Structure 1
Amino acid sequence: MLSANSLRVVRSSRAVLHPNRLLTNRLSVTCSGHWMSTSLHKKDTWHSNFNVTTVRTEKGLFYSTNYIPSLRNYTANQVKLNCWNCSQLFDKKPTFFCMSCKVVQPPEEGTSFFQIMDCDCTFTLDTQKLQKRYLQLQRSLHPDNFSQKSAKEQEYSESQSALVNKAYKTLLKPLSRGLYMLELQGMQLEEGTDSGADSHFLMELMEINEALDEAQTPEEANKIGQDTKGKLAELTEQIDAALRKGELQAAKALLGQMKYYANIDEKVKEKLSEFM
């Protein structure tokens, strides 16, 4: 019969060989120093790092497992980087400026928008913090600040500034943020097809669009706009819940609905501008 310590070793060894067995437990998703709690199921396709730690106790060796799930392509390249100008080794990522010689650095391949904007890797992120980070980065990275610098610094400032703009615009709105989170998982919505949409849902959208086209007053258009915003808020909560549970297919379907309502929201704004 195996001893208790031997059983611990066997269980840990099996976990290394079959890490998916641990997916039914409640886990913490680590995202560049930030975390969010989520429940994952075996069927969901999350990539992971799996570490085994040996701890010496009074009763002998104990092997503990440390399972760290992460979004695909989320973590930046693990290769250590140096400053292109003075070869100073960087101790954090992303690095926009060298702490030694102060020159701007080129964008780092594989860095996610969440890392660039120093945001929690979650669907319901703090947009005020996002905007503050955006303004801070643009004040320091804007190409106008490098007009008297070398050609290489001007090039890097332009590419960094453009990347910050793209990251900000992507993470600012729930729809583009959610689609980007799916993209990190290797998933995306199919363009130009309604084959996956429920017929009742499509009929409802058609009726809303017809009512908006026939709206004769700002009040009528505003009513449709308020109803649409309420639906978008409801979808935001549902998508956040699905992503926290690791239910990626459900999140994808809900984001598809959000895309339709976001289009209606834009049409409402256009309709209201006609009454001005």
Structure 2
Amino acid sequence: MLFNSISRLNLGSILGKRVWENLHINKLPYSNSLIRNRTISLSTVFGNRFYGTKVRRNFYDMFPDVVSKPPPQGPFDIDAKALRRSYLKQAKFMHPDVAQGEDRKAIELKAAELSKAYRTLLSPLSRAEYILSLNNESADSEEIKNNDPEFLMQILEVHEQLQEVGSSPDALNRLKQENDERKQNEIANLKQAMEKADWEQARYFVARLRYWESISRNIQEL
């Protein structure tokens, strides 16, 4: 693992004296010698599952305090606020000033990996695409073009509305609300399919959600 060479960090410097003293007051399971020295191993802070010798299987393993396993073993939904808290908590220990030389490079790589995992799991679309990849699946937008002409007609109609709306704030807000409702509907269907391990339906709803996300970007650009 990248962090095997980093045995201890000065958490008093990273977190600040007040936070470290709170750790002491709360009597967390760290030895008195570690508390006196204000040093502790990363594996003690986050557990060997993240920083130990065991190789991580996926992005879910990087946030064990927030998510358990990807669907169908675990839920599709993720608490965005809890995910952000976990990300920021771990990011504190990955500041470039923590170590020098090879250790500094290792921290930079680990920070980039953590950031990628956070961004991927935060968005329902990228999360769904990632879950599909874990199951050797992928969503093909061309499949919808060939098998769902009614949906494509709906997409074309929305594009026509965007061209006609001009810069009217009320009209743009209406289109945005309608598109947000469509996205939420796709996400609900996607969640149900993934938690049932129905990968065929999951691929279908991921492809549909991509189109609606594209519409959202077009609305933002107007």
TM-score by length of 1: 0.58
Tell me if the contact between 2:5 and 2:103 (Cα under 8 Å) persists in the aligned partners: no
Deviations 1:155-205 (A, max 9, x none): 111001000110011011100000000000011123667544410100100
Match of 2:77 among 110, 116, 124: 124
- Alignment partner of 1:182: what SS? helix
Q: Which has the higher helix share?
A: 2
Match of 2:14 in 1: none
Q: Which runs of 5+ in 2 are unaligned?
A: 8-40
Output aligned runs, 1:110-149, within 5 Å.
110-118=56-64, 119-120=67-68, 121=70, 122-143=75-96, 145-146=97-98, 149=99
Q: SS where residue 186 of structure 1 aligns?
A: coil
| Map of 1:83 onto structure 2 | 4
Match of 2:115 in 1: 165
Between Structure 1 and Structure 2, how many residues are aligned?
177
Aligned to 1:94: 50
- Please provide the CA RMSD for this pair: 2.6
How far apart are residue 124 of structure 1 and its match? 0.7
1:179 maps to amino acid:
E
d(CA) in 1 for partners of 2:2, 2:95: 23
Choose from 160, 168, 185 the match for 2:135. 185
Look up the equivalent residue of 2:61 and give its one-letter code. Answer: Q
**2: distance between equivalents of 1:270 and 1:153?**
42
In the alignment, is the contact (CA less than 8 A) between 2:50 and 2:56 conserved in 1?
A: no
Which secondary structure state, in structure 1, belongs to the residue aligned with residue 116 of structure 2? helix
Aligned to 2:152: 202
How many angstroms does 1:82 deviate by? 9.2
CA distance in 1: counterparts of 2:145 and 2:215, whole angstroms: 19
Tell me the residue number matched to 1:246.
197
Partners of 1:82 and 1:127 lie apart in 2 by 27
Q: CA deviation at 1:210?
A: 1.1
Match of 2:10 in 1: none
1:187 partner SS: coil
Secondary structure at the counterpart of residue 205 of structure 2: helix
CA spacing shift, 1:268–1:179, aligned 2, 3 Å: same
| Paired letter, 1:123 | F
Q: Identity, % of aligned pairs?
A: 23
Gaps of 5+ in 1: 1-79, 97-104, 272-276
Checking the alignment, whether the CA contact within 8 Å between 1:171 and 1:177 is kept in structure 2 is: yes
**8 Å Cα contact 1:94/1:111 also seen in 2:** no
Which residue identity does 1:239 align to in structure 2?
Answer: L
Compute the displacement of 1:111 (Å). 3.2
Structure 1 or 2: more strand by fraction: 1
Structure 2 vs 1, CA of residues 139 and 84 (structure 1 numbering), >3 Å: closer, same or farther? closer
